[in-house]
Amino acid sequence: MKFFDKKVLSLFVSIGVSFGLGNGVNTVAFAAINGVATVDQAAPIGNITKVMVTFLKDSTTEKGFTWYTSRKSIASDLQVVEQTSNNPLPNFTKAINIVGSCAIPSNKTDVATPTGTTTSKLEYLHKAEATGLKANTTYFYRVGDASLGLWSAGTFQTASISGAFSYIDIADPQAKEYGEGLLAASTFKKALDTVPDSKFIQISGDLVDKGNVEYEWDWLFNNIGQKFLNTTIAPIAGNHDEYKGSFTDHFDLTPAAGSDISTGVYYSYNYSNAHFVMLNCNETAENGLSIGNNNLTPAQIAWLKKDITDAKAAGSKWVIVNMHKGPYSTSNHATDIDLAGSGGARKTLAPIFAKLGVDLVLQGHDHIYARSKPIKADSTAVTETLKTESFQGHNVNYEQNPGAPVYLIPGTAGPKVYYKNKSIVSDPNANGYDPKFYGLFDKADENHAAIYGAAAVDLSRPERSNIQNFESVTVDANKLSVISYEIDQNRNSKAPYIIDMFGIEK
């Protein structure tokens, strides 16, 4: 990421020159709004934490890396070596050496927690980028500080140019205490065990409850541990992640040119024959726009139109959008003005998605599981033509050339859950659940956590921490297949089980 806020460009400092895969120094850079990083000789060496590997613009040849250290370390060293038949184990004496950048993180030192004020660890933030990689290739890497002998190692794989692939979709870990962080982390680990061939994890926002509380990032990332070191993360910011700089501090991404990254990042990337559009629904928070709009600035909307049009012209077969505050959901937020109002996402963004030929919109924010029918630009559902086919030993119903996107709310990876929304009214005889609106959905159950009763501290919500969800998404030449999993902490030995399957064929 060219890591700067256009509002503080005058304070911008950077290190290095651009490079291909070879010994070099890269162009990751930081706004020096928090001061310049200098060695704290009294600090312990400590451990490397919160290592994140991310896609950059070209997923076949580039990777971004982010990690944290104590303030003893200001070196940002990355070593990368290809895995081959002659080099099946990491031999970093043969690695390419890359030097990144170091900065003081945006998050405060003294932070409010649910149990009071806690002094956080004094840390430095590091980023580095590897470019000039080979497509569809596995690499060993390690990040750290060579002068201190401080390293954290893992593997990554670059994207393929063609062929089938699978990935994990997940949303809203949002832990507000340590035990909930353990719970959310266990969802990620179980998802990776359930989908062992997944190429990456998409996270649809609200990674934490308060983005400026660094301990919450620790609770999630550090408890996932080694599994995160061996996969690639494709995140978007949720409204709980929007604190200035907190999202971009934790992920090295390639934002759209000229965009404001204060509260999140919008960007896109290709993987095989699919194009992924990652939206930032927090722009109103930074730009002071009316809460009644769709959370995207006109610049972001213009960008997504051009981005999708260009991707399809370049040959992308599938277009998948990820956004935190999506147009179609079935819980608390379904009636929010920024989604359901006259200028909200349902009336302004959803028609754009349909007209541009988007296939699937993966959402977050509403902490329930629901799946729409394909929805046209006029806000009506497509008359479905389904074909049952076998996929991974299951009979799956595939939408046949629907010509409109399916909207999916994937449930939550963490503790927080909502009831189904009874406030959607267009039919006075609806008896709480409006048939016109809910008729747009193929799957719109009450939250499966409802059987455990209301939360004692908030009767408007089900009891926390009982139900978690994630999805496996497989993209092939002519088919997109989704298997949705649930984890119930009170049954099935807490192991994931399937609650829904669907597909699109075209």
339-387 per-position pLDDT tens digit: 988 889 999 999 999 999 999 999 999 999 999 999 999 999 999 999 9
- According to the model, what pLDDT value does residue 288 have? 44
Residue 445 pLDDT greater than 50, yes or no? yes
| Token representation of residue 195 | 């989908």
Residue 474 pLDDT greater than 90, yes or no? yes
What are the backbone dihedrals phi and psi of residue 14, each rounded to the nearest 5 degrees, phi first? -140, 165
- pLDDT bin (cut points 50, 70, 90) of residue 486 is very high
Q: Over range 152-179, report the average pLDDT.
A: 97
- pLDDT bin (cut points 50, 70, 90) of residue 113 is low
- According to the model, what pLDDT value does residue 341 have? 87
pTM: predicted TM-score of the whole model, two decimal places: 0.92
Q: Over range 320-329, report the average pLDDT.
A: 97
CB 46 within 8 A of CB 70: yes
Distance CA 40, CA 195 (A): 42
Residue 329 pLDDT greater than 90, yes or no? yes
Tell me what percent of the residues of the chain surpass a pLDDT of 90: 78
Q: Over range 119-139, report the average pLDDT.
A: 90
CB 252 within 8 A of CB 267: no
| Closest by CA position to 65, among listed 151, 146, 129 | 129
- According to the model, what pLDDT value does residue 2 have? 42
For 18-27, 76-85, 389-398, which range has the lowest pLDDT when averaged over its residues?
Answer: 18-27
Residue 196 pLDDT greater than 90, yes or no? yes
Neighbour order of strands in the sheet with 386-391: 101-103, 123-130, 63-70, 49-54, 233-236, 198-204, 165-170, 467-475, 479-488, 497-505, 394-400, 386-391
Q: Please give the biggest Cα pair distance in the chain.
A: 73
- According to the model, what pLDDT value does residue 115 have? 54
User: Exposure of 12 by Cβ count < 10 A (0-12 exposed, 13-18 middle, 19+ buried)?
Assistant: middle
Residue 5 pLDDT greater than 50, yes or no? no
* Alpha helix positions (H), 164-253: 178-194, 214-224, 226-229, 246-250
- pLDDT bin (cut points 50, 70, 90) of residue 244 is confident
Q: Which fold would CATH assign to domain 165-505?
A: Purple Acid Phosphatase; chain A, domain 2 (3.60.21)
- pLDDT bin (cut points 50, 70, 90) of residue 44 is very high
CB 467 within 8 A of CB 484: no
Q: What residue ranges do the domains of the chain occupy?
A: 6-157, 165-505
The CATH superfamily holding the domain 6-157 is Purple acid phosphatase-like, N-terminal (2.60.40.380)
Chain position carrying tokens 């990820």? 322
Residue 223 pLDDT greater than 60, yes or no? yes
- pLDDT bin (cut points 50, 70, 90) of residue 24 is low
Residue 287 pLDDT greater than 50, yes or no? no
What contacts 415, CB < 8 A, 6 or more positions away? Answer: 174, 175, 180, 183, 184, 464, 465
- According to the model, what pLDDT value does residue 37 have? 87
Residue 15 pLDDT greater than 80, yes or no? no
What contacts 159, CB < 8 A, 6 or more positions away? Answer: 55, 59, 60, 135, 136, 199, 269, 270, 271, 272
How many CB atoms within 10 Å of residue 234? Answer: 24
Residue 109 pLDDT greater than 60, yes or no? no
